[in-house]
């Protein structure tokens, strides 16, 4: 049986772990908010109405691709393409290819960063493997000018971070929505987690004064909870109760 991602792949290990997924979730929530094309996510109204649910949806699609048979994964990717094409038709303009690359790039970057924060450093071959999976997704979607390998991606990622970030009114509004949906305590914890995973360019844009520097060891605190098998309880406390089912599915590694 042919899978889109090999069963022994490090990518399955990363995306099969609820802890790393939640860190990816936290990083993506920051970078989505600071991307110049965040207005596209506002166009349908779904993101500001339910930003946490929208991010869970993105995570669900990514996991479905990672753990599916090859043909099923291609169907899921084509479904994503069709959704975006419908939005483009409704708005009467095309989403730029660099915006698609940005999303693929953040999935690559936060997959690596999140695993390394909680587990261990990845080898160059493992990083190439992470890159290769999301490059394949981009190629299937017809995204242009994708890097050929991980080392080319590093340069392209740096260029994208330099050119495609902006703190706009959408950024401010989306963070207000995060706070509204999560509540003050969960929102503050989200920011702490973001600080541990964000690339410097995103960190400087969103947290220019270096706030919360003293709480950067939050990953170590979480590892302590995990050692006492309290991590499921902690994760449930970090997200609102209406997302209980999504959280349980992460615990069960359920697609």
151 inside domain: yes
> With bands split at pLDDT 50, 70 and 90, how would you rate the model's confidence at 19?
confident
4 inside domain: no
180 inside domain: yes
Report the pLDDT value the prediction gives residue 187, as an integer from 0 to 100.
87
Q: What residues contact 32, with CB distance under 8 A and at least 6 apart?
A: 38, 41, 47, 55, 106, 174
Cα–Cα distance list, 159 to 51, 80, 116, 163, 179 (Å): 27, 25, 23, 6, 30
Domain that includes residue 37, residue range: 10-251
First to last CA, the chain: 18
DSSP code string of 193-253: HHHHH--HHHHHHH-TT-TTGGGTTHHHHHHHHHHTT-HHHHHHHHS-GGGHHHHHHHHTT
What tens digit of pLDDT does each residue of 167-201 get? Answer: 999 999 999 988 988 888 888 888 888 888 899 99
* Nearest CA among 17, 225, 28 for reference residue 116: 17
Angle (nearest 5°) at CA 113 between 48 and 156: 80
Count up the domains in the chain and report the number: 1
Higher pLDDT, 187 or 104: 104
240 inside domain: yes
5 inside domain: no
Asked if the model's pLDDT at residue 243 lies above 90, the reply is no
Report the pLDDT value the prediction gives residue 47, as an integer from 0 to 100.
67
242 inside domain: yes
* Nearest CA among 13, 190, 1, 163 for reference residue 96: 163
110 inside domain: yes
2 inside domain: no
């Amino acid at each position: 049986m042919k899978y889109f991602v090999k069963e022994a792949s490090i990518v399955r290990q990363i995306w099969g772990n609820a802890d790393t997924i939640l860190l990816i979730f936290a990083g993506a929530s920051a970078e989505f908010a600071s991307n110049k094309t965040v207005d596209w996510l506002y166009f349908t109204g779904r993101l500001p109405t339910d930003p946490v649910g929208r991010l869970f949806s993105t995570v669900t699609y990514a996991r479905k691709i990672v753990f599916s048979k090859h043909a099923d994964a291609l169907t899921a990717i084509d479904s994503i393409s069709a959704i975006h094409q419908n939005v483009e038709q409704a708005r009467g303009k095309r989403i730029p290819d660099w915006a698609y690359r940005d999303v693929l790039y953040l999935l690559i970057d936060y997959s690596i960063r999140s695993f390394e924060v909680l587990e261990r450093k990845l080898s160059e071959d493992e990083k190439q493997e992470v890159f290769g999976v999301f490059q394949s997704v981009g190629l299937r979607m017809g995204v242009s000018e994708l890097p050929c390998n991980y080392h080319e991606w590093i340069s392209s990622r740096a260029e994208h971070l330099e050119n495609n970030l902006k703190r706009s009114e959408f950024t401010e509004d989306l963070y207000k929505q995060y706070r509204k949906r999560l509540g003050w305590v969960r929102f503050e914890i989200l920011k702490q987690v973001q600080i541990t995973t964000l690339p410097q360019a995103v960190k400087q844009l969103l947290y220019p004064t270096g706030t919360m520097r003293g709480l950067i060891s939050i990953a170590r605190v979480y590892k302590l909870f995990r050692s006492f098998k309290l991590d499921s309880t902690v994760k449930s406390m970090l997200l609102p109760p209406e997302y209980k089912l999504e959280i349980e599915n992460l615990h069960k590694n359920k697609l």
